[in-house]
Structure 1
Amino acid sequence: MLTAILVDDDYPVLRYLSQTVTWSALDIELIGCYSNGLEAWEATQLSPPDIVITDIGMPKMNGIELLQKLRGINSNLRAVILSCHNEFHFAQQAVKLQVNDYILKETLDVGHLQQVLHKISADLNTVKKTSAEMLLYKRKESLNRVALREKFMKDTLYQSSANKETWVEQARIQGITLNAKYYIPMVVTVNRMTNVTLTRKMNDYTIVFAVENILQEILTSQHRCEIFQHSNNELIVLFCCEEPDKEQQLLNYSAKQSISAIHKYLKISVSCFVGREACNQDEIRKILLPMLKEPTQRFYLSESTVHLFEKVAFSDLDMYSEYSRYYSAINDMLALNQPKELQAVLDRWVDWVKSNRFHPGDVKEWTLQLLLELQLKTKITLQYQTDLSEEKLYDVINSIETIDHLQQWMSQYFEQIFRKMSLVAVHSKRPEIIKAQQYVIQHVTEKITLEDMAGYLNLNSSYFSRLFKRETDYNFIEYVNMMKLQKAKELLQQSNKTVEDISDYLGYANKSYFIKLFKREIGMRPSEYSAWN
């Protein structure tokens, strides 16, 4: 639907036209009525209308000035002037601004104005349709050009080798200039593409296209090179050069410039991997294929950096020789609710992995087993289940391409566990308190008294009560009720149990007491909480 505004310092005219013109029948939306040109300009300059119906003589900014400003930001603007003036110089200015009609107010007829607007509407819709078709054509043309370039690169990598002259000529036919003595290949990878698509709410094609545009702007201004899209997160750059040793330093500098610019303007991290020089298609293939087909070779390389690509050998040492030590340390830090200490353990583990250069596949398998065992442990001892199923956990870890990304992801994973367990975590190193906490969580549906808990721990009840209060800032019965109410909230959200059922299930002999306790701690009755959630 087209948009229109009315501008006139004569309020009766504004009211009359806004109410009598059949805007919807003309497929026009009246988006504003203004008493002078300045008011209209300030309201619409960021989103100009398609049609302006305006008086000429108005305070602050007249109609001619308004149309001049609006046409500067919308070249397809259509205008109708309503005026008390019939002097030639006003009509002459209107003609220069390509005004569609100049109507004197004394002869104003709504039927005539509607005919003018109908003609304008048909004209603008034709223009918009033509513009849309042209935009679609250009997009298809661009896609075809990209597809042809992708095909040429795939033929270079996977088809039988042609002699250099034939290969260069095939490139020229596609508009690709590769006439050079040497070629230096570079692979540009968008780091953490899955995260980028989610946070930026863009598909991978659009992201790679945006990265390519910045590479084109920076690299082609300093080098003879051709850029090809290869996959949903990779581009290939072929630098054409005569003396590769001399150009290598400038090439690295340009690559660093590109990484910085992409991060600055797109907020995206990319890494560049530069291969050795090649003379022909066969050598290019031998250099590029390992760079593209063996992402494990990049596992220990820093992100957002330029690297000379070299094949590395991985250690054949047994990672599992240290499994129990790291598992115990991480499990203890989780149980004791010590996130800083756990992060220190994780950092030591990463340093150990890096120093030994274990195969990335082994590192991911080791990590998956660790997290699955910890998930089971927290589910049993703390009645806490993470949001990631075994299958989803496998997919997430398998998609991670660098050790730095894995370290960061694991830190965030454990932070989430600590955050969700904050209500049941105890800031204490006393084994009696930890044991008491775990017992309460495991037996939350039973009636638990201070005396029973002290007896379970072989402690004097008065001593245990003071110890628990000192270590947790809660008295023991408060803590038991807090855990029971937490469980009650989960049941109200996730089950069809009635309030009475939940009260009985959690060991409360008196439903009224349960409701009173729930309202005091949560701020509403259980039935209200259930309806609210």
Structure 2
Amino acid sequence: MYKVMLVDDDYPVIQLLSETIEWEQLGVSLQSTHENGASAFEKAISEMPDILITDIGMPKMNGIELTKKLKEQNPNLKVAILSCHADFAFAQQALKLQVQDYLIKDTFDPADLRQLIKKFKETLDEQNTKMNKHLQIQNLLNQNKESVKEKFIKKTIEQPDMNEGHWLSEAKSLGLHLDQSAYIGSLGMIHHYSSVKELYVSEDTLNFAVNNVVAEEIKRCYPGAVHFQHGIKGLFVFFPSSLILKRNALTEAMECMKRIQHALKRSLNISLSFITGDGCRDLSEFKQELVHLINGCHQRFYLKPGTIVEQKEAREAPTEDLFSRYDEAAAEMRELIMLRDEARITEYVTKWVNFLEENQFAPELVKDWVLKLLLDLRVKLHALQLFRSQQTIDYMHNEIFEIQFLDELKSWLLNYFHSILSFVKEVYEQTKRKEILDAFKYVTMNIEKKITLDEVSSYLYLNPSYFSRLFKKEVGETFVEYVTKMKINRAKELLEQTTDSVGKICERLGYDNQSYFIKIFKNYVGVTPIEYRGGKA
């Protein structure tokens, strides 16, 4: 809906027009009213109107000055002068500013203004239709051009044998002159792509917007540089440079990358990080530059939004085993959820993300570790009747493995834990079986201690006999059977995730007799603890 600004120092006129003109029915909205031009101009800076209806003689800034200033900001602004001045000089000034109509208050009829607004709306509709068609055509042309460039990069990477002469000719048509200059390559990747994408109608629209901003910024700060789209989340930029003075050339290229980052952040609120390559002089080196940049996923995973770094050789594997800390992370996570401690979610996620960053574990290993944590939590919550996920395991797997940066993983985990905790709290608040849920929580929190029926009954302030009957009725098994099952599940986790001996695990779980523990384990699992660990190795 088009926005109308009404400006007149005669308040009765503003009141009359505000109340007698059916703005909404005319397909416009009365954005604001003002009693002087200065106030109207200040408002228009933050929210530009489509239609201006203004008096001429006003304090602080008259209507002619206001029209001139707003036309400089919005040349398509439609203006109607509503004034008591019949002087030809005023009308002449208005005509010079391409004012669409000049209405005299003495002979003014609101019906004239209604007709004028209808005419303004029709003109604006026509202009917008033409503009949209132009943008659609331009969009299609740009999409086709970017598609050709992307296919060129893909072909360069994937085809083993290429005719260098033909390749140089095609590269030249796309603005890449490797027969005349060396280039420094860089790979830029969009952070939090999923969140960014939600703000746009489609991925094509987002890519179109990004490519436009990058192209405009390159034209300003580094003419001769060429950018190529890389999938839906990234882009290559190649900067013509002398590799003899590589350090100077790299500094200039990085300045341009910073400007690209600032432009994307300012206009589209997109964070981009860059990794720069070693430079290239011919087809072979160009191809090598592309491959090295793409394969730098380890270094890229740990980049912060808005950073620019030089490509590094792959790091040596960390000395610490990530899965040796699994049991600790899992225990803290269970405690967090079972105690419904929302305040500690950020602290927990930050602690473990910092640990991952300090050790720079391989991204795929990190994702495996996180996925296992979440799947184990999911199984436990299902067993406790506290959670039923609508998402399949495959969906969760795909979501996590689509994440490209550690900072994205951190945001994803924070959102996930908050949603899980919200659901658990809701179950606790709605269920009529709070005693059973509290018993579940008690067992989970004390699984590595000896747990008795009397002890839990006392914790719940219930008679042991009553609690025993209630538990069997609600859960379908006795309390002792439930505790044994949960302890055996915990024993399986310890056998898989630690190097503790069977005796140590037996002791940790509160069993006094190792032979009894082994017998119970075999009854539930079908094999002894040693056989179970051997089968999982």
Please give the alpha-carbon distance, in whole angstroms, between the structure 1 residues aligned to 2:82 and 2:358: 80
Cα distance, 1:418 vs structure 2: 6.2
Residue number among 360, 373, 384 corresponding to 2:376 in the alignment: 373
Cα distance, 1:55 vs structure 2: 4.3
Cα distance, 1:101 vs structure 2: 4.0
Match of 1:273 in 2: 275
Please give the alpha-carbon distance, in whole angstroms, between the structure 2 residues aligned to 1:20 and 1:327: 68
Match of 1:501 in 2: none
**Residues 381/14 of structure 1: CA separation in 2 closer, same or farther (3 Å cut):** closer
381-390 vs 234-243, which moves further: 381-390
**Residues 225/120 of structure 1: CA separation in 2 closer, same or farther (3 Å cut):** closer
Cα distance, 1:229 vs structure 2: 0.8
Contact 1:273 1:308 in 2 (8 A): yes
Match of 1:441 in 2: 439
Cα distance, 1:394 vs structure 2: 1.6
Note the alpha carbon deviations across 1:51-91, whole angstroms, 9 max, x for none.
44444445555443443343333323344445444434333
Match of 1:225 in 2: 225
Please give the alpha-carbon distance, in whole angstroms, between the structure 2 residues aligned to 1:38 and 1:220: 35
Contact 1:383 1:441 in 2 (8 A): no
What count of residue pairs does the alignment treat as equivalent? 441
Please give the alpha-carbon distance, in whole angstroms, between the structure 2 residues aligned to 1:164 and 1:179: 10
Query: Are positions 1:456 and 2:453 aligned together?
Result: yes
**Residues 40/215 of structure 1: CA separation in 2 closer, same or farther (3 Å cut):** closer
Note the alpha carbon deviations across 1:177-234, whole angstroms, 9 max, x for none.
4443533332222234224445x66855565566653586379735853111111111
Please give the alpha-carbon distance, in whole angstroms, between the structure 2 residues aligned to 1:335 and 1:108: 73
Please list every run of 5 or more consecutive structure 1 residues that lacks an aligned counterpart in the other structure. Answer: 426-435, 445-453, 469-474, 478-533
Contact 2:302 2:357 in 1 (8 A): no
Per the alignment, in what secondary structure is the counterpart of residue 457 of structure 1?
helix
Contact 2:273 2:308 in 1 (8 A): yes
Contact 2:183 2:239 in 1 (8 A): yes
Please give the alpha-carbon distance, in whole angstroms, between the structure 1 residues aligned to 2:45 and 2:410: 48
Contact 1:224 1:239 in 2 (8 A): yes
379-388 vs 334-343, which moves further: 334-343
**Residues 8/441 of structure 1: CA separation in 2 closer, same or farther (3 Å cut):** same
**Residues 122/163 of structure 1: CA separation in 2 closer, same or farther (3 Å cut):** same
Please give the alpha-carbon distance, in whole angstroms, between the structure 2 residues aligned to 1:111 and 1:260: 52
Query: Are positions 1:76 and 2:73 aligned together?
Result: no
**Residues 147/41 of structure 1: CA separation in 2 closer, same or farther (3 Å cut):** same
Please list every run of 5 or more consecutive structure 2 residues that lacks an aligned counterpart in the other structure. Answer: 429-433, 443-450, 463-537
**Residues 180/316 of structure 1: CA separation in 2 closer, same or farther (3 Å cut):** farther
36-45 vs 222-231, which moves further: 36-45
**Residues 262/206 of structure 1: CA separation in 2 closer, same or farther (3 Å cut):** farther
Note the alpha carbon deviations across 1:401-443, whole angstroms, 9 max, x for none.
3566556755665576567667999xxxxxxxxxx98774349
**Residues 41/441 of structure 1: CA separation in 2 closer, same or farther (3 Å cut):** same
**Residues 413/167 of structure 1: CA separation in 2 closer, same or farther (3 Å cut):** same
Contact 1:161 1:281 in 2 (8 A): no
Please give the alpha-carbon distance, in whole angstroms, between the structure 1 residues aligned to 2:194 and 2:252: 29
Structure 2: which amino acid aligns with 1:272?
Answer: F
**Residues 52/251 of structure 1: CA separation in 2 closer, same or farther (3 Å cut):** closer
Note the alpha carbon deviations across 1:349-383, whole angstroms, 9 max, x for none.
748974xx5x6445533443343223222443574
Please give the alpha-carbon distance, in whole angstroms, between the structure 2 residues aligned to 1:24 and 1:327: 58
Match of 1:146 in 2: 146
Please give the alpha-carbon distance, in whole angstroms, between the structure 1 residues aligned to 2:299 and 2:61: 63
Contact 1:9 1:35 in 2 (8 A): yes
TM-score, length of structure 2 as denominator length: 0.62
Structure 1: which amino acid aligns with 2:398?
Answer: D
Cα distance, 1:308 vs structure 2: 1.5
Please give the alpha-carbon distance, in whole angstroms, between the structure 2 residues aligned to 1:305 and 1:263: 15
Please give the alpha-carbon distance, in whole angstroms, between the structure 1 residues aligned to 2:39 and 2:140: 42
Match of 1:234 in 2: 234
Note the alpha carbon deviations across 1:472-494, whole angstroms, 9 max, x for none.
xxx847xxxxxxxxxxxxxxxxx
TM-score, length of structure 1 as denominator length: 0.62
Cα distance, 1:398 vs structure 2: 1.9
Match of 1:246 in 2: 246
